Amino acid sequence: MSVMTSAAVPPRIALVGNPNCGKTALFNALTGSRQKVANYPGVTVERKIGHFVSPLGRRVQVIDLPGTYSLRARSPDEEVTRDVVLGRFAHEESPDLLVCVADATNLRLNLRLVVELKRLGLPIILALNMMDAAEKRGCRIDAAALSAALGVPVVPTVAIRRGGVQPLLDQIDGAVALAAAADAAESPAPCCSPCGSPNGWSEPSSRELRAYHQEVEGLLARCVTDAGLPPVATRRVDAVLLHPVFGLAFLFLVLFLMFQAVFAWAEAPMNLIDGAVSGLKDWVAATLPDGALRSLLTDGIIAGVGSVVIFLPQILVLFFFILVLEATGYLARAAFLLDRLMGGVGLHGRAFIPLLSSFACAVPGVMAARTIENRADRLATIMIAPLMTCSARLPVYTLLIAAFVPDRPVLGGLVGLPGLVMFALYAAGILSALAVAFVLKGTVFKGAREPLLMELPAYRLPNPRDIALGLFERARIFLARAGTTIFALMIVMWFLASVPGAPEGASEPAIQYSIAGMIGHALEPLLAPIGFTWQIAVALVPGIAAREVAVGVLGTIYALSDSGDALQSSLAGALAASWGLPTALSLLAWYVFAPQCIATLTVVKRETNGWFWPAVMFAYMIALAYGASFVTYRVASALL
Amino acid sequence: MSGQSFPETGQRPGGRHLGELRKGQRARVTGVDETAVVTSLPEGELERRMIEMGLVEGSHVEVLHEAFPGRDPIAIRVNEHTLALRRAEARAVLVAPAA
Ligand SMILES: Nc1nc2c(ncn2[C@@H]2O[C@H](COP(=O)(O)OP(=O)(O)OP(=O)(O)O)[C@@H](O)[C@H]2O)c(=O)[nH]1
Ligand SMILES: [Mg+2]
């Protein structure tokens, strides 16, 4: 790097450290961004770039990296960290400064990586994060002595407290200036000078690793005057939650409660939104003169977007559970508890974490699989992630349940029948995922399981503000999607469903003669064996772009098909009146499996570097979906 | 560190490994030797991973929890942190009873 560039290009600093030591929390505190922070190892799986202005007014670029225990990168997320630190990314040099983040409550393990990183010869600042937790446990660390012993600046930080990163900020300018000076002093020869350049890095041997540990012991002896108490509360809680019997029972109870709550807790707010939407529709219908504009607004936009927006409360309840589980530190425990059971189908216990994220959306779930080291294990996890019922499928499930499942209490009034059916649908997704994993691991992905070596973080009480902000963020994303993608698709669908108009003297509603109607009728023969009507066929097509749009399209189609006063009744009512139960069950079965999500297929392509695995995924899921719907429809038709 | 002779080949008679400890037992790590373990990993990899996770000569360990079924995997305290691992791989960690 030349001296010229350091003046023009902002200095780049990278946050490096063990998993879960608070790098992302620090990144957020420095840059004011809202990247995901949670209490389990492996939250961040890609690099994130942000900027801040140092106390001396210098613009600085910060890179947040996935956590790692060593530069020897065992999994794709750790490879990102290695490549950024070593400057192996194309068109990117090593960062100008490493901010090594260490969890002060667990210095021994964290310092090992620092000692390894120091060998690279890059300028370093060591941030002792979580100082609040360390103090609470009675740890006493002599930062000045540690700084002298290590030969790098050491600053205490509390990333989650206001002003908790000030000590780090105070050091940044000095360190950046020093780094620039060192850079300038270096020989102007083209980049890879062996001394001080990390390009000479090679994997440490076990002997070197042991030597690093020895070095850390020496540092600790000099700088830690009191190691503090172990986290007693965490141990007490784990005595129950990791109990071989109660622990598993509790885990299943939590999952059951989560799926049940999605239905039960969201009911009242959903009714409110439903009322507001139909109120708006009536108001528009009453104010505007009859015509295309009124139809577009009421039948297209309000019926379509409205029937999706209704599901906001459910999605928030689901995310509430996931956010709380992530923030407490329970996720890693669940992976521990399930390791043996998931091993039965050849999966790694860790796979639980990506799979749970997939209940929200398969896209982050597929990305979270990066933390699984073994390629075969990772691919198996990626391939089944979309079988977890994602939140975009909730609207479809809920709509059909509302239309076809009577709301009566079961199990002695403990749960409602709709909630139970919802749970059964989730369970169907999970069980088929396990079955698919079993088949995959027995055939294409044969091989021994990767070892389990996973840190269990201390429990933390979730911060209500973080949870609230997380939910707010979710609501914003969901509504933005409803207002853009879904809104646009609904206008297109309304148009397709309205032109060309009905011919003279037509007996059927105009939609039968529209482009959408033609498409639906064209697809009908293909889908008739599984009991789908032409309306469903129309709804499935835009559902590929966004699953929940299917519900919106049904809303529009039935709004347009209705004549006169029937418009008043809800979509669920319209469906109940026009579909048989076998058709409804068949559509539910279809949605458990169908790979209708371009976003998921795209992310699978990115994560597996090619179209092969997404193609396999699409083929196997569509085959399963068609097969399951066929069987469901036939069996249900025969029995009912 | 106490004087263990050859941690790499530390299969001394009567030596115990982490994989056989029961809940509540404490021990001190005396060596890491992966030869007794069947893994899919390249040679030397498991040993290095164990060391990177803090399972290195001189570390203090205590078995905190056992999962179900088969009391496997186990959660152990390693000095200041808690680690989950399977008994099969824990066999690579040689231990002596805590003093
Ligand atoms: N008490 C306390 N908790 C903190 C502090 N910094 C972070 N945390 C918590 O530690 C947990 C992990 O924080 P993250 O920022 O996600 O950690 P990370 O290093 O980015 O983790 P990975 O992305 O998995 O490598 C979260 O629960 C944070 O709320 C701190 O200074 N004090
Ligand atoms: Mg992170």
Contact B68 A454 (CB under 8 A): no
Instruction: Say whether both A157 and A295 belong to one domain.
Output: no
**Mean pLDDT of the A470-499 span:** 86
Are A274 and A185 in the same domain?
Answer: no
3-state secondary structure of A444: coil
Q: Do A95 and A170 have their domain in common?
A: yes
CA distance A332 to chain B (A): 9
Structurally, how many domains does chain A consist of?
2
pTM for the complete prediction?
A: 0.88
Round to whole Å and give the CA distance between A435 and A427: 12
pLDDT for A4 equals: 43
Question: Of B6 and A97, which is predicted with more confidence?
Answer: A97
Q: Please give the structure tokens belonging to residue A621.
A: 């899921």
CATH of the domain at A74: 3.40.50.300
DSSP states of A164-184: TTHHHHHHHHHHHHHHHHHHH
Residue A391's pLDDT band (boundaries 50, 70, 90)? confident
Residue B4 clears pLDDT 70, i.e. is over it? no
Are residue A181 and residue A294 in the same domain, yes or no? no
A36/A367 Cα distance (integer angstroms): 13
Q: Which of A551, A579, A607 is the last residue of a domain?
A: A579
Identify whether the C-beta of residue A10 lies closer than 8 Å to the C-beta of residue A51. Answer: yes
C-beta separation of A11 from A58 below 8 A: yes
Contact across the interface for B75 and A235, Cβ inside 8 Å? no
Task: Flag whether A258 is in a domain.
Answer: no
Q: Is the pLDDT of residue A579 over 80?
A: yes
B36 touches A at CB < 8 Å: no
Q: What is the mean pLDDT of chain A?
A: 88
Inside any domain, residue A139: yes
Give domain status of residue A260, yes or no. no
pLDDT-derived band at A199 (thresholds 50, 70, 90) equals low
Among A198, A226, A254, residue at a domain's last position: A226
pLDDT at A36: 92
Q: SS3 for A570?
A: coil
Q: Residue A487's CB: how many other CB atoms inside 10 A?
A: 18
Confidence of residue A8 (pLDDT cuts 50, 70, 90): low
Neighbours of ion ligand 2 (CB under 5 A): A 23-24, 43-44
**Average pLDDT of A294-309?**
83
**Residue A476 domain-assigned?**
yes
**One domain, residues A302 and A167:** no
More confident residue, A563 or A34: A34
ipTM greater than 0.90 = no
Span of A17-21, A35-39, A286-290, A623-627 with lowest mean pLDDT: A286-290
**More confidently predicted of A509 and A173:** A173
* In a shared domain, residues A68 and A203: yes
Same domain for A211 and A85? yes
Residue B99 in contact with partner chain A when CB distance is under 8 A: no
Asked if B84 lies within 8 A of A230 by C-beta distance, the reply is no
Residue A192 has pLDDT above 50, yes or no: no
- Sorted by sequence, the CB contacts under 8 Å of residue A541 that are 6+ apart come out as A519, A523
In A10-130, which residue ranges form alpha helices assigned H by DSSP?
23-31, 76-85, 107-118
The average pLDDT across A396-400 equals 88
CA-based nearest residue in chain B for residue A41: B83
Indicate whether residue A44 lines ligand 1 (CB < 6 A): yes
**From A271-285, A332-346, A413-427, A582-596, the region with the lowest mean pLDDT:** A413-427
Question: What sign has the CA pseudo-torsion B29, B34, B37, B41?
Answer: positive
Considering only residues B8 and B36, tell me which one the structure prediction assigns the higher pLDDT: B36
Please give the residue that has the higher pLDDT: either A542 or A84.
A84
Cα distance between residue A411 and residue A415, in whole Å: 6
- All structural domains of chain B, each given as residue ranges with its CATH number in brackets, are 4-97 (2.30.30.90)
Per-residue confidence (pLDDT) for residue A565, from 0 to 100: 46
Instruction: Work out the pLDDT band at A198, boundaries 50, 70, 90.
Output: low
Shortest CA gap B41–chain A (Å) = 8
Helix (H) or strand (E) holding A206: helix A206-223
Q: Which amino acid is located at A522 in the chain?
A: A
Coil vs helix vs strand at A394: helix
- Tokens (6 digits) for A451: 């070892």
Mark whether A220 and A304 lie in a shared domain. no
Taking each helix axis as running N to C, give the angle between helix A375-384 and helix A417-442, from 0 to 180 degrees, rounded to the nearest 10.
150
Peptide bond into B42 cis (omega under 30): no
DSSP string for residues in B23-70:
TT-EEEEEEE-GGG---SSPTTHHHHHHHHTT--TT-EEEEEEE-SST
Distance CA A210, CA A289 (A): 81
Domain residue limits at A540: 265-310+463-579
Which of the four pLDDT bands, split at 50, 70 and 90, describes residue B5?
very low
The β-bridge relationship of strands A97-103 and A124-129 is parallel
pLDDT in tens, A211-240: 999 999 999 999 998 888 888 999 999 999
Does one domain contain both A151 and A203?
A: yes
Beta strands B93-97 and B26-32, pairing class: antiparallel
Ligand 1 atom at minimum distance from A129 CA? 31
**Chosen domain end from A226, A256, A283:** A226
- Rounded to a whole number of angstroms, the distance from the CA of B26 to the nearest CA of chain A is 15
Stretch A136-162: mean pLDDT: 94
Report how far apart, in Å, the C-alpha atoms of A15 and of each of A31, A96, A155, A181, A270 are.
Answer: 12, 11, 14, 21, 43
